[in-house]
Amino acid sequence: MSRTEELLAAAAAAPGFMPADEGLALYAAARAVPVPGPLLEIGSWMGKSALYLAAAAHETGRQVVTVDHHRGSEEHQPGWEYHQPELVDAATGQLDTLPSFRATVHPAEDLVVAVVARSETLAPLWSTPLALLFLDGSHTEESARRDQDAWVAKLAVGGTLAVHDVFPDPADGGQAPFGVYTRVLASGDFTELPGTGSLRVLRRDR
């Protein structure tokens, strides 16, 4: 088994919310990016999508940067639908996904750089043009807009923007990622590429 196959198998087996077909579509989009630069994801959870990106990074000689505060999104907090009590740090009483993330990405530690921070804290310090930006952070309207405003402009011309959990029908899911997708497309700076499921893929043209 090649290393790419090993990373993709690890991604498929990892805990997380990304369906296999969308994960493979993300891998393919990252593998096909024609411009230089790193692959950066906003929102890592336990590292499943980072492994899909790492498989592409391995094949193309890139690095993956993941940005997450590892305290979980709103839906992961106590009393919410996706809360997992076993992820609560007894010392702080807060959710902490960093240990699980590290265990997941262990096979790709040479390819993945993890930044433990809020995306809006890191963004002003970041100057390297991105080859790919994957937006999959908190899905409230405020946080989704904040991630868009902070990071989309850092994508290189010719680079790829991927947005996860885009659901045109509110009955299927939250509307914040759909709002990001529609605003970016309406800017006239992007061309939509083929997507899969709730994953939308766009190329920056200018």
Catalytic residues: 139
The DSSP code for 30 is H
Q: Which residues pair with 190 in a beta bridge?
A: 204
- In one-letter notation, the amino acid at residue 83 is H
37 contacts: CB under 8 Å, gap ≥ 6:
62, 128, 129, 130, 131, 132, 156, 159
**DSSP code for 127:** -
34 by DSSP, 3-state: which? coil
**Side chain identity at residue 36, one-letter code:** P
> Hey, how many other C-beta atoms are within 10 angstroms of the C-beta on 191?
11
Q: Concatenate the DSSP letters of all residues of 144-204 into one string.
A: HHHHHHHHGGGEEEEEEEEE-S--SSTTTS-SHHHHHHHHHHHTTSEEEEEEETTEEEEEE
Distance of alpha carbon 83 from the chain centroid: 20
Residue 82 has a CB neighbour count (10 Å cut-off) of 12
